[in-house]
Amino acid sequence: MTIRVLIVVPARSGSKGLADKNIKLLAGRPLLEWTAASIAQAAIPDSFTILSTDSEEYAILGRQAGLCVPFLRPAVYAGDNVAAVSVLEHAVAWFVDHYGYQPDFTMWLQPTSPFRSPAILRQAVAITSDREADSVIGCKEIHRDLTTLFNLEGGFMVPLNTDKPTQTSRQQTEPLLTPNGAMYLCRTDHLLTFKSFYPPKTVPLIMDTVQSLDIDTEEDWAIAEAFIKQGLV
């Protein structure tokens, strides 16, 4: 089998916002296990998943969740300021060294987005074929106008768009899109060339509020638990 899609689940230790969030128990399951389960259920053809972590404890939990952990990420790729693309470059380099070729696509799935559905993962891969996309990014809608988004200049709010009156009504605005952090899929050669998830032909994949939740704080964690309690997951 030729592996076309390399799926990378990043889970470094040492999180400062929410300590050890990647292995913190959510509804009795380590957070990274939610992503592992989604990948397994998606069953993307010709794919291979690895957990990229710097922690042996995380590696053990990852293997228990069904993830392959072929290496421990070197410290140079595990700092607070290390870019996601650098971590992916390291993972792709391992893959090429191990298999002798480069995967067509690389997918990045953060454990902090536990509620993305398996269908989203399959849909992202399908879009690359149906629309000949170079990249597919999980996004959420922001129902705001540029007249109600502001820079701070000299302590005062200055709208990004001053060419028209402030648009505060939802009905007056076309929704903006922003990446939600839940899913990135990019042609590997473009990822390495542009060093970005956003090459020229990037397609958004719109996800709802629940699937778009990205857990970084105690407040986010409480929201996740509330979603589960309310049966929204």
Predicted confidence (pLDDT) per residue in 115-128, tens digit: 999 999 999 999 99
Mean pLDDT confidence for 166-173:
72
Domains by residue range for the chain, with CATH: 5-139+178-229 (3.90.550.10)
**Per-residue pLDDT reduced to its tens digit, 187-227:** 999 999 999 999 999 999 999 999 999 999 999 999 999 99
Q: Supply the DSSP string of the chain, one letter for each residue.
A: ----EEEEEE--S--SSSTTTTTSEETTEEHHHHHHHHHHHH--TTEEEEEEBS-HHHHHHHHHTT-B---BPPGGGSSTT--HHHHHHHHHHHHHHHHSS--SEEEE--TT-TT--HHHHHHHHHHHHHS--SEEEEEEEE---GGG-EEEETTEEEES--SS-----GGG-PPEEEEEEEEEEEEHHHHHHHSSS--SSEEEEE--TTTT----SHHHHHHHHHHHHTT--
Q: What was the pLDDT predicted at 91?
A: 98
**What is the pLDDT, as a whole number, of residue 59?**
97
pLDDT in tens, 120-150: 999 999 999 888 899 999 999 998 888 888 9
Q: How much is the pTM? A: 0.92
Asked if residue 96 has pLDDT above 80, the reply is yes
Strand 202-206 to 135-142 pairing: parallel
Question: Residue 82: pLDDT above 80?
Answer: yes
Give the pLDDT confidence score for residue 227 in this predicted structure. 98
